[in-house]
Amino acid sequence: MTPSLPTVPLGTTGMEITRVGLGAFAIGGPAWSYGWGAQDDDDSIRTIRAAVDRGINWIDTAAVYGRGHSEVVVGRALRDLPQNERPWVFTKGGLVWSEDDALQTGERKVGDPASLRREVQDSLRRLQVEQIDLYQMHWPAEDGSEVEDYWGALVEMRDSGLLKAIGLSNHDVAQLDRAEAIGHVDTLQPPFSAIYRDAAADVLPWCAHHATGAIIYSPMQSGLLTGRITEERVAQLPADDWRSRHPDFSGDRLRQNLRVTAALAEVGERHGISTGAAAIAWALVFRGVSGAIVGARTPEQIDGWVNAGSVELTADDIASVARAIRDSGAGSGPDAPR
């Protein structure tokens, strides 16, 4: 029997989601600008199946992850599952690449409605589904398209039944207001962790006010808050892992971030959970957060954080993390729920 995990409504979508969902970022492999390095597809499929077996009922991916490869792998993993056992599948579009870009030099942020409609059809094909449970615009467009252009196209596809729900990712309050004026924003996907906390100051309160579900990403800050990252390990990251080139993983920034990790490790020890699970549980405390997207490349990694949604942090836990944030000067944004 599949274990039962706590669930909450995802805004007004009618979907009840577990507090943690599986992120398929790394499953895409290295073939795009932010790849995490080589990934075996069989390991990915085992990981997706393990997430379902452990009670997780949603997976978040994107067309750009591995330039279509993540969606293909997700589709393969879920293909043979009975309908009543299939998790919700969420994906994203609006990051477009050229098929002849062999060097993977980058992706363009495109909001042209015709392009977006093609992307939806491509995602349907790769995922092997007739309707996408949640489709999100990955980033604000930079091709001259306005929010109204691409949001209007998504509203039409939701109304037609091609998309069950629609959302925005990495959009600010002003952009959310413009979209909401056209049609309800079902969900928002912002970055949020104990290091980057800006969403708690603006977009998460907006979501709470508008009954918009918020599924945050990077609650473990790309591994920084797992307790497994050290200066020595960072020095050994392969060149095809984007973290090897990011300022968060070097110098004073890295040392500041690891001080926050140490505080979360103490919280985890008090609750008998991993440091990563404590980081996720901390993020889930904030008003407006429906669930957290958490990546995994192996089933064993899932076991390290799947119980995060079942943990209730105390006021002392939250205060100790807030002190570490202030003392270290790490990141930005509110250091505790308000």
Helix or strand or coil: residue 168? Answer: strand
- The β-bridge partners of 292 are 20, 216
88, containing H or E segment: strand 88-93
Q: Which residues contact 196 (CB under 8 A, 6 or more apart)?
A: 218, 221, 331, 332, 333
**208, 152, 203: which is closest to 176 by C-alpha?**
203
Please state, in angstroms and as integers, the Cα–Cα distance from residue 286 to each residue in 198, 200, 210, 280, 337, following that order: 12, 7, 16, 11, 5
Angle at 59 between CA 57 and CA 60, to 5 degrees: 145
Catalytic residue among 34, 65, 135, 217: 65
264, containing H or E segment: helix 251-271
**201, 163, 183, 160: which is closest to 286 by C-alpha?**
201
Cα separation, 106 vs 88, in Å, equals: 29
- The β-bridge partners of 96 are 108
Cα separation, 79 vs 71, in Å, equals: 12
217 catalytic residue (yes or no): no
Angle at 107 between CA 123 and CA 207, to 5 degrees: 65
Is residue 294 within 8 Å of 304, Cβ to Cβ? no
Q: Which residues are catalytic?
A: 65
